[in-house]
Amino acid sequence: MATLSRYLLYLYPATHRMEFGEEMSEVLRERQSEFGKRGALARWILSGREMGGLLQGAAQEHLRAAKGLYSWEEFPIRRIRMRTEFRFPKATPVLMTVILGAVVMAIEKARAIQLSVPPSHQQVPPIQSANFTVLPSFALLFVMGCVVGAIAWAVAYALRKSGVQRLEELKAGRKL
Amino acid sequence: MAFDDMSYEGVWKLEPLSEAVLLILVSLAEQPRHGYSILKNVEEMSDGRVTLSTGTLYGALRRLLEDRWIERFKEEESSRGRQAYRLTARGRQILRTEVGRLKHLTKLASLRMAPKEM
């Protein structure tokens, strides 16, 4: 895991690696030795978070290198703005009204064409109602519910386990 | 978003700092620190609630360096000569303003939430 994390540093642009690469390797080494003292599950979760952070960071740095400058969204120093004004551009409602008008006109035109065409002599058979079977549908829903429930339980169990472990560590730390 | 207006009003007009950045600045306000020390200190200050990954930390540090809120220097005390970070005057002023903003909000909330005397 430690080696993999260090390899992930190669995903960063060369300029970033030159500036921060050595420091980041050092921090990763210290992080891994810290994770080694924890349980297996916590170690996996924390290592996964580290790798995710590295992947995200590398992607952001490449974006920045491609654009030539950083943008506010890459690493938001400040909180995301709450916009009080109208969320869409002002032209959007106008455009939507024009589109709605065009759709209504198209429906009217289609109706006019339908009326202008003489009816064919061929008889259309009556439409049969679809057979709806209740039992298989309920069975399918039940199975899907079980699968979703099992996944949710597994996630909650993993979170609880890591949370309990962290709480215990915190308590142990406070006792010392 | 580069920050050039250093007046109190200028800083006040900006949006509040994100929690991660605020904690990094608070961590450096006490003393200069190197990367791992910042990570640990942020975790301690937030009681383990804010855990920065190495990638996220260095993204933030790079951004703060570019905005000149912090600066980098070589630790002389360390045998390895590690790079450490400290707040600049600009960073300290921004932190002071942010703390002022938070104090103002806390005071306002406390006044509004206090039970009214009959």
Give domain status of residue B85, yes or no: yes
Give domain status of residue B98, yes or no: yes
Structure confidence at residue A37 (pLDDT): 80
In terms of residue numbers, what domain contains B46?
17-113
Going from the C-alpha of A116 to that of each of A109, A123, A137, B20, B41, the distances in angstroms are 11, 19, 44, 69, 80
Give domain status of residue B12, yes or no: no
- What CATH number should be reported for the domain holding residue B38? 1.10.10.10
Chain B interface test: which of A4, A6, A15, A23 (most B C-beta within 10 Å):
A23
Residue B3, exposed/middle/buried by CB under 10 A (0-12, 13-18, 19+)? middle
Which chain A positions have a beta carbon within 8 Å of B51's beta carbon? 46, 49
Q: How many domains does chain B have?
A: 1
Q: For A74-103, what is each residue's pLDDT tens digit?
A: 555 555 544 545 556 667 778 888 899 999
Does the predicted interface ipTM exceed a cut of 0.85? no
Give domain status of residue B1, yes or no: no
Q: What is the residue-averaged pLDDT of chain A?
A: 78
Q: For A123-164, what is each residue's pLDDT tens digit?
A: 667 766 666 566 777 788 888 999 999 999 988 888 887 777
Q: What is the DSSP string of A106-161?
A: HHHHHHHHHHHSPPPSPPPPPPPPPP--HHHHHHHHHHHHHHHHHHHHHHHHHHHH
Chain B interface test: which of A47, A74, A77 (most B C-beta within 10 Å):
A77
Q: Decide: pTM greater than 0.95.
A: no
Residues in chain B where the model's pLDDT stays below 70: 1-14, 77-81, 116-118
Q: To the nearest whole percent, how much of chain B has pLDDT over 90?
A: 56
- Could you tell me which chain B residue has the CA closest to the CA of A26? B36
Count interface pairs A-B at CB distance under 8 A: 90
